[in-house]
Amino acid sequence: MKKMKVILLKVKAFILNIWNRADELVERIAPIAVNVVEQIKLVNETTAGDIIELIITKAIKGQADDIIVDQIRAKLKEKLPEVIEVMRLALSIAKVDDKNIQAIMVLDAINLSPDQIKNAHYHVFCSMLIESISDGRLSWGESVILAQYVYENMYNKK
């Protein structure tokens, strides 16, 4: 019982440590990152992006670069609005003072994510937690493997 209490205290300390650092980092970095991503999106969707594409495609002979540049611009147009939305969500969560409300907002955001993203967040969090409570006896890689093993063989047993 005493060992379980020690583990739970380590889990709590780990989560609080992440939480306290995350707010500071997000509040400092997110506004800059949002601005940078918005500017990239703006350039991609205006004639400036067209000019850059024209210069690149004319400077390099052949069609391969034309296809790659076109695919990159299409992917940017598709993904940048999602990235901006996630950054703004993180910033809005960081501005909330109540840690309980923040936790609810984070879980809601994760749970509303597509399954692939949701699974990645939970997998990384679980691996970080395992590494933290192992007191340095497990590496990051070993923690990832252990988290995956537990998920596949205990939680998601087929």
- pLDDT over 90, % of the chain: 0
Q: How confident is the model at residue 18 (pLDDT cuts 50, 70, 90)?
A: low
pLDDT at residue 134, rounded to an integer: 82
Domain annotation covers residue 154:
no
pLDDT at 19 over 80: no
Domain annotation covers residue 153:
no
Q: How confident is the model at residue 113 (pLDDT cuts 50, 70, 90)?
A: confident
* 51-75 burial code (b ≥16 CB/10 A, e <16): eebeeebeeeeeeeeeeebeeebee
Nearest to 38 by CA among 80, 88, 90, 82: 80
Domain annotation covers residue 33:
yes
pLDDT at residue 15, rounded to an integer: 67
Domain annotation covers residue 19:
yes
Number of compact structural domains in the chain? 1
The domain in which residue 30 lies consists of 2-112
Domain annotation covers residue 122:
no
Q: Are 128 and 14 in contact (CB under 8 A)?
A: yes
